[in-house]
């Protein structure tokens, strides 16, 4: 126990010594900081005083120079004017107004510079007043000169007054300058005094700083060995950490709060050098590492900023290097010290460029498949709708609607063959095609001439269809004939320009164009067939006039309409005179030609709302709406005379004179139904025939 007691006392003494040393170290440290702070404050204060003194010295020189400038300009003004007065040469006065302006500018500047010194400001104001008086006096001298009175008493008085003003101005200017020199002397003395105090403060501060640095060196030297042991431990930990991150297959790097690399593995270093051609080292800043890649630096720095702000995340980062897109999956985590304070961040990166590319290809394939299915669905829908169309107008509207949906990858025009088959005309269009010809003939299109799809381009020496309007823009086009049942019903013109980002159609797009054209051709053939059947059902095949069945339906509707509107209807029955003679002499072909020519003539004469039909053989019936008896007779006479003047040539011979007899019945006086009106007109025609032919007979006139 006795031995233990002294040992305890020694251990306690050692602890007290360590505590005392720690207290002394802290005291010296904080005292040194206090002294440095005081010295810094005094230095800043002295520098401020020195700078202020220098500013006032500069201010004094500015006042003196400005006074001299104003005197110079005034003297120059006076001497120039004196030269003019003595030699009567106006070349002495070119800069007079400019000198006056400079004098006033100098006086304004003096007023501004002396506004903090009231006595000096008062002198400046007085000087300005004197100079203004002198300028006015000089102006008066010029006026006297202009009047030719330089030798007058008034001129002598002005000259004496001018001399007095000049003397007074020089005296006052010298007084201002002397006052400024006195202020300058005082300010120079103050500046020198402040400079001496500043030098003393700096010298004292340097001595005190050296002393305290030596004390601090001795006090902290004992801590170096302890820090070395700590560094060895840290080095061991770093080696262990290095082994862990080098064993990882992903790229790992850590940055501190100043965006400097703390650590990185070989995978990260190799990838960085491969992309950016720069060797990394610990302590290197992100700005230096990516100085040649500003866009990439901004992207990566934004990611590190987000991490160092305390955000842990997993996200994709995308950038381009040498026109090559790179995508990384980045996992961010924080580095914290023992006090849970953020000191850096770690990024674990994985190159997923190839994976994203494969996913995009898969998505593109799915999109193309989806788009293809949608287009096929639209084609089926369009087919059903087009087959239900009853007219070309309906079909054109349907095609215009589905062109934008199904052929949205292009632009073009849908042409229909005219019933005469002489030319094609625009039916629908989509987009804004460069070539937009409204109509053209078959021989102007290579697709129609060849009978199959023709592809052309503006940018090469290929044959270009004449209906295509060429342009400077690179454009490819397809001419697809709409062929069905060995007949051509139209043309599908498809245009692909550089604006769409491609120069030609893909295989899928070509299939869509072909399918669209085939469906459209079938629909056109179907509509044309319906129209032909409808036409044949109501038209006479020889004369193209309406037939007897349509006549009965039309007459019934017209009677109902006339009954509602309380208007009349005239039914004209025509019969060619001696038609059998024409057939016997010239043949039935000549008789058919006469019937056709007469039918065309009647069609041209009647109004658009009237109707002409072939009743049978050489008999015809014309229905005139909203017509009374007098008007019907007049119209019938016009028709009869026109037919009488008709000359039909069959081969090398004429068929001879053609005349017609006409019987007229009027609704409702001659009949209230269709059969009654036709019967009445027939009776009137019978009378016309028996009365000598080539005449018009009204049914009411034979009652």
Q: Which residue has the tokens 């292009």?
A: 410
Q: Would you say the C-alpha torsion 577, 578, 580, 585 has a positive or negative sign? A: negative
Report d(CA 124, CA 132) in Å as an integer.
12
DSSP-based three-state secondary structure for 82: helix
CA distance linking residue 630 with residue 44, whole number of Å: 124
Catalytic positions, please?
Answer: 618
In 11-46, which positions are buried (b, 16+ CB within 10 angstroms) versus exposed (e)? eeeeeeeeeeeeeebeebeeebeebeeebeebeeeb
Which stretch of DSSP H or E encloses residue 88? none
Q: Are strands 649-650 and 653-654 parallel, antiparallel or unpaired?
A: antiparallel
Neighbours of 557 (CB within 10 A): 10
Token digits of residue 701: 């006139």
Residue 579: other Cβ atoms inside 10 A: 17
Q: Under a CB-based contact definition with an 8 Å cutoff, are residues 623 and 570 in contact? A: yes
Containing H/E element for 629? helix 629-644
Rounded CA-CA distance 296/321 in Å is 8
Integer angstrom CA distances of residue 646 from 7, 442, 586, 640: 155, 36, 17, 10
Q: Which long-range contacts does 632-635 make (Cβ < 8 Å, 24+ apart)?
A: 632/570, 632/572, 632/664, 632/666, 632/698, 633/664, 633/696, 633/698, 635/570, 635/572
Residue with tokens 């070309």: 392
Secondary structure of residue 409 in the 3-state scheme: coil
């Amino acid at each position: 126990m006795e031995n233990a007691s002294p040992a305890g006392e020694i251990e306690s003494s050692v602890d007290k010594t360590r505590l005392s040393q720690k207290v002394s170290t802290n005291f010296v440290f904080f005292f040194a900081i206090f002294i440095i702070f005081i010295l810094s404050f005094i230095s800043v204060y002295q520098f401020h005083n020195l700078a202020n003194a220098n500013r006032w010295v500069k201010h004094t020189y500015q006042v003196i120079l400005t006074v001299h400038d104003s005197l110079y300009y005034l003297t120059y003004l006076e001497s120039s004017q004196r030269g003019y007065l003595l030699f009567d040469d106006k070349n002495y006065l070119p800069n007079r107004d400019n000198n006056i302006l400079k004098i006033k500018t100098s006086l304004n500047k003096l007023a501004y510079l002396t506004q903090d010194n009231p006595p000096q400001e008062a002198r400046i104001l007085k000087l300005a007043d004197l100079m203004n008086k002198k300028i006015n006096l000089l102006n008066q001298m010029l006026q006297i000169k202009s009047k030719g009175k330089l030798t007058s008493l008034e001129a002598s008085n002005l000259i004496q007054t001018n001399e007095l003003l000049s003397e007074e101005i020089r005296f006052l200017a010298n007084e201002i300058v002397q006052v400024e020199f006195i202020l300058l002397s005082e300010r120079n003395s103050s500046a020198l005094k402040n400079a001496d105090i500043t030098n003393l403060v700096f010298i004292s501060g340097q001595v005190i700083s050296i002393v305290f640095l030596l004390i601090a060196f001795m006090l902290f030297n004992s801590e170096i060995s302890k820090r070395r042991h700590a560094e060895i431990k840290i080095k061991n930990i770093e080696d262990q950490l290095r082994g862990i991150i080098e064993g990882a297959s992903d790229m790992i790097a850590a940055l501190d709060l100043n965006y400097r690399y703390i650590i990185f593995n070989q995978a990260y270093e190799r990838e960085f050098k491969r992309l950016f051609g720069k060797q990394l080292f610990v302590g290197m800043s992100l700005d230096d590492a990516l100085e040649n890649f500003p866009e990439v630096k901004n992207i990566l720095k934004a990611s590190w900023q987000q991490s160092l702000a305390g955000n842990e995340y997993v996200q994709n980062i995308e950038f381009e290097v040498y026109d090559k897109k790179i995508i990384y999956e980045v996992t961010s985590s924080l580095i914290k010290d023992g006090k849970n304070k953020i000191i850096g961040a770690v990024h674990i990166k994985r190159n997923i460029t190839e994976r994203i590319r494969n996913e995009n290809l898969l998505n593109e394939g799915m999109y193309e498949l989806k788009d293809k299915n949608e287009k096929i669905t639209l084609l089926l829908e369009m087919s059903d709708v087009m087959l239900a169309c009853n007219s070309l107008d309906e079909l054109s509207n349907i095609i215009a609607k589905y062109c934008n949906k199904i052929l949205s990858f292009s632009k073009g025009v849908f042409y229909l063959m005219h019933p005469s088959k002489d030319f094609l005309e625009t039916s629908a269009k989509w987009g804004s095609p460069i070539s937009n010809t409204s109509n053209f003939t078959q021989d102007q299109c290579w697709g129609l001439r060849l009978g199959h799809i023709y592809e052309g381009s503006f940018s090469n020496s290929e044959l270009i269809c004449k209906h295509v309007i060429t342009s400077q823009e690179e454009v490819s086009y397809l001419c697809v004939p709409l062929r069905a049942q060995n007949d051509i019903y139209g043309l599908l013109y498809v245009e692909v320009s550089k604006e769409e980002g491609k120069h030609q159609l893909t295989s899928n797009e070509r299939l869509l164009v072909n399918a669209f054209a085939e469906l459209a051709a079938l629909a056109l053939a179907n509509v044309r067939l319906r129209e032909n059947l409808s036409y044949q059902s109501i038209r006479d095949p020889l004369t193209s006039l309406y037939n007897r069945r349509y006549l009965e339906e039309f007459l019934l509707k017209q009677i109902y309409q006339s009954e509602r509107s309380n208007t009349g209807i005239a039914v004209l029955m025509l019969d060619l005179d001696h038609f059998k003679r024409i057939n016997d002499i010239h043949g039935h072909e000549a008789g058919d030609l006469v019937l056709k020519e007469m039918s065309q003539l009647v069609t041209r004469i009647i109004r658009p709302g009237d109707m002409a039909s072939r009743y049978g053989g050489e008999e015809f019936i014309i229905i005139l709406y909203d017509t009374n008896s007098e008007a019907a007779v007049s119209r019938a006479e016009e028709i009869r005379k026109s037919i009488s003047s008709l000359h039909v040539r069959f081969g090398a011979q004429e068929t001879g004179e053609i005349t017609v007899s006409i019987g007229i019945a009027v609704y409702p006086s001659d009949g209230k139904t269709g059969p009654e009106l036709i019967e009445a007109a027939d009776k009137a025609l019978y009378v016309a025939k028996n009365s000598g032919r080539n005449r018009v007979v009204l049914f009411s006139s034979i009652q």
